[in-house]
């Protein structure tokens, strides 16, 4: 779907998704230290370089667990999901409704190999006339909705699918012809959900560091 917004790009906000329950990992994925700090703060700091404002998307009860007396947490903006138990669509929908005149660069916390090169590439490839711009997955060649730029024009489509109890952000990208681009390095989309996958990802990060 190409929208007639005369080719102007909306301002870009950042959204780090940490609302998953990390059941398979056994501990919060957003707290894993891959790059010298907890992943949630690494990603938020990364998006600061590309976005007007950056928010951390979480479940309401996660806000209660955050110690705002800690300097680190208080330095970041938090956005509590308005929609309960509908997965990442709840975070994306909350953000778009929160500031409907902004585009949102959405990143899930379980992508440990994500770095500035990938974000820069996605931002450069952005087409504001589409409902979203996303990389295609190396596993199935389908769009990756949790590392994507969602334009404001996607909001009514997401609201419609939510009303129909169709809760797949990927399905929205497919049905409405989001711009899908090939990632410059397919490893950046490596998704980590279990301790075994985390061990593999840690080795990949180490190897990347040694090869530079």
How do the domains of the chain map onto residue ranges? 12-211
Residue 125 assigned to a binding site: no
pLDDT of residue 70: 65
Q: CA-to-CA distance for 201 and 130, rounded, in angstroms?
A: 32
Averaged pLDDT for residues 2-17: 76
Q: Does residue 18 have a known ligand-binding role?
A: yes
Q: How far apart are CA 59 and CA 51, in angstroms?
A: 22
pLDDT over threshold 60, residue 96: yes
Average pLDDT, the chain: 89
pLDDT digits (tens, 9 = 90+) for 57-91: 998 888 777 655 566 778 899 999 999 889 999 99
pTM of the predicted model as reported, rounded to 2 decimal places: 0.90
Rg for the chain, CA atoms, rounded: 16
| Torsion angles phi and psi, residue 174, rounded to 5 | -70, -50
pLDDT per position as a tens digit, 25-47: 878 899 999 999 999 999 999 99
Which H or E element spans position 15? Answer: strand 12-17
81 annotated among ligand-binding-site residues: yes
| Residue matched to tokens 């990632």 | 183
Burial state string for 153-164 with b = 16 or more CB within 10 A and e = fewer than 16: bbbebbeebeee
Q: Is the CB of residue 58 less than 8 Å from the CB of residue 94? A: no
29 is in an annotated binding site: yes
Domain 12-211, CATH: 3.90.550.10
110 is in an annotated binding site: yes
Higher-pLDDT residue of 4 and 131 is: 131
How many other CB atoms are there within 10 angstroms of residue 182's CB atom? 11
Q: In this model, does residue 124 exceed pLDDT 90?
A: yes
pLDDT digit string, tens, across residues 198-208? 999 999 988 87
The DSSP bridge pattern shows strands 143-150 and 132-136 to be antiparallel
Distances (CA, A) of 56 to 79, 168, 201: 6, 20, 23
Assess contact for 204 and 185: CB atoms under 8 A: no
């Amino acid at each position: 779907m190409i929208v007639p917004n005369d080719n102007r790009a909306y301002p870009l906000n950042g959204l780090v998704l940490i609302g998953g329950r990390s059941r398979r990992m056994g501990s919060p994925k957003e707290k894993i230290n891959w790059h010298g700090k907890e992943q949630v703060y690494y990603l938020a700091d990364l998006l600061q370089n590309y976005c007007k404002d950056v928010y951390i998307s979480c479940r309401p009860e996660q806000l209660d667990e955050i110690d705002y007396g800690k300097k680190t947490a208080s330095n970041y903006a938090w956005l509590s999901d308005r929609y309960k138990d509908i997965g990442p669509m709840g975070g994306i929908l909350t953000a778009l409704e929160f500031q409907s005149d902004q585009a949102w660069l959405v990143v899930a916390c379980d992508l440990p190999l994500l770095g500035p090169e990938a974000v820069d590439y996605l931002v450069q490839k952005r087409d504001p006339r589409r409902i979203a711009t996303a990389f295609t997955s190396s596993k199935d060649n389908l769009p990756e909705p949790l590392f994507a730029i969602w334009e404001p024009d996607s909001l009514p489509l997401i609201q419609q699918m939510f009303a129909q109890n169709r809760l797949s952000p990927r399905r929205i990208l497919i049905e409405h012809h989001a711009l899908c681009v090939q990632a410059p390095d397919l490893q950046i989309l490596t998704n980590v959900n279990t301790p075994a996958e985390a061990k593999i990802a840690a080795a990949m990060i180490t190897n990347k560091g040694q090869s530079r």
